[in-house]
Structure 1
Amino acid sequence: MEIIYYGHACFGFKTSSSTVLVDPFISENKLAKDINIDEIKADYIFLTHAHYDHILDVERIAKNNNSSILANPEITAHFKKLGLNVIPMNIGGVMKFSFGKVKMVAAVHSSSFPDGTYGGLACGYLMKMDGKVIYVAGDTALTTDMKLLPFIYGYINVAILPIGNFYTMGGYDAVIAAKFVKTKNAIASHYDTFPAIKVNKDKTKHLFLAEEKRLTFLSIGESIDISKFE
């Protein structure tokens, strides 16, 4: 199984049977200018919340692929009105797929659509895909709820954590989050896209190394095999 980084907080997951995309914000991300969103494949699009920098390209990608959009009821209601396929879910819920199962978990963050409409509760996803476990934290502060996650599907092979600070937790809190979820591996998310979330990559990597954990910064467009994270 491959994990692909499309910039900001957008990741793709190529499983043995399906392709999943999370939080597509590409077309107005200057750092992702070399990504052609019309070439992106997505059987499913998972959304963590309704902010502009997480839903911008949902409609275009979903129409290109006839994707099903999984998100909270407020977000799915919005996209259902646009004629798209939706799967309404809420925090604590679990859905089975051909590649495994996905649990919607808590995130501590605000959520509204670009017009100010309420976007429901923000969330993250704990995903068991092809036998590997991935935690997509979404936009969140550090929370002790994270301590519960290793009890659900067992060892988390990799946690995708926001590190940009200001709008989410930063590097110091992300290290604690990795300790809470008991993973050895993290992938950085939600950094550098805007001036307020610029990070010092070397410093942040060393924060993880000091706790005997590894933080990976993927280049935009880069893919990595899940087998790299044991």
Structure 2
Amino acid sequence: MKITYYGHSCFSVVAGGKHILFDPFISGNELAKHINIDDIKADYIFVSHGHFDHMLDVVAIANRTGAMVVGGWELYGYFGKEGVKNVHPLNPGGKVTFDFGTVKAVIAQHSSSFPDGSYAGVASGFVLKTVDGNFYYSGDAGLSLDMTLIPKWADLDFAVFPIGDVLTMGVEDAIEAAQFVKTTRIVGVHYDTFGFIKLDKSEAIQTFKNAGLTLHLPDIGNSIDI
């Protein structure tokens, strides 16, 4: 599977012949100012929760591409009111089959609110089973024993975890999470964007390596194959 990183927690995966985009926050990210959101392909956009740094560019990208936006019930209602025509609800515990594969929403231990402070539902992560492989995006999660349930549903090729600490898991907890979900390949996100989530990349990669794991930290705009 081809994974492209767009900064913060935004990345895309090409699987089942579709471009699947997650948590687009690009135009407001100084570290991603070289990325033109009009160049981003998307057939589906998954939104983990309502914080601005995970949904800022959803409407613009969805309206340009016609992508289906998928998120919890409150997100489903919000984006519908914002004029997005192609929206699908998916709450934690539920699963839906699309043309690229099946997606199960799972709980993420994190807060969630819309930019105006109103309730945005519970935060979630997503487990995707596709013809090209399976992966788990935890969203902005804290370490939780709920993650031990993931491998009961899918044998993962990789997982995408936040590693910036303070607001989400840090490196140590992400290593534990990798062991919970039984994968050795991790793509790290949610770091460096703000001053309080700065990451020493070399140290993080070595710490994962010491635990027998591979941490991928692609540069913003770059792609890797897993």
Q: TM-score range by the shorter chain?
A: over 0.9
Unaligned runs of 5+ in 2: none
- State the Cα distance separating 1:112 from its structure 2 match: 0.2
Structure 2 distance, partners of 1:130, 1:28, is: 34
Structure 1 distance, partners of 2:111, 2:186, is: 23
Aligned to 1:120: 121
- State the Cα distance separating 1:10 from its structure 2 match: 0.3
Whether contact under 8 Å (1:100, 1:131) holds in the other structure is no
- State the Cα distance separating 1:124 from its structure 2 match: 0.4
Structure 2 distance, partners of 1:170, 1:177, is: 10
Whether contact under 8 Å (1:17, 1:98) holds in the other structure is no
Whether contact under 8 Å (1:106, 1:145) holds in the other structure is yes
Say if 2:18 is the partner of 1:10.
no
Q: How does 1:15-34 map to 2 (within 5 A)?
A: 15-34=15-34
What SS is found at the alignment partner of 2:104? strand
Counterpart amino acid of 2:210? Answer: A
Q: How does 1:47-58 map to 2 (within 5 A)?
A: 47-58=47-58
Aligned residue pair count: 225
Aligned to 1:102: 103
What SS is found at the alignment partner of 2:61? helix
Structure 1 distance, partners of 2:32, 2:131, is: 28
Structure 1 distance, partners of 2:125, 2:114, is: 17
Aligned to 1:200: 200
Q: How does 1:1-230 map to 2 (within 5 A)?
A: 1-84=1-84, 85-154=86-155, 156-226=156-226
- State the Cα distance separating 1:207 from its structure 2 match: 1.6
Structure 1 distance, partners of 2:106, 2:132, is: 19
Q: Which moved more, 1:187-196 or 1:128-137?
A: 128-137
Identity %, equivalent residues:
48
Q: TM-score, normalised by structure 2?
A: 0.97
Unaligned runs of 5+ in 1: none
Q: List structure 1 runs of 4+ shifted beyond 2 angstroms.
A: none
- State the Cα distance separating 1:102 from its structure 2 match: 0.7
- The CA RMSD measured in Å over matched residues stands at 0.9
Counterpart amino acid of 2:45? Answer: I
Structure 1 distance, partners of 2:66, 2:166, is: 35
- State the Cα distance separating 1:16 from its structure 2 match: 3.6
Structure 1 distance, partners of 2:195, 2:76, is: 31
Structure 2 distance, partners of 1:129, 1:12, is: 14
Structure 1 distance, partners of 2:115, 2:135, is: 29
Whether contact under 8 Å (2:16, 2:132) holds in the other structure is no
What SS is found at the alignment partner of 1:196? helix
- State the Cα distance separating 1:13 from its structure 2 match: 1.3
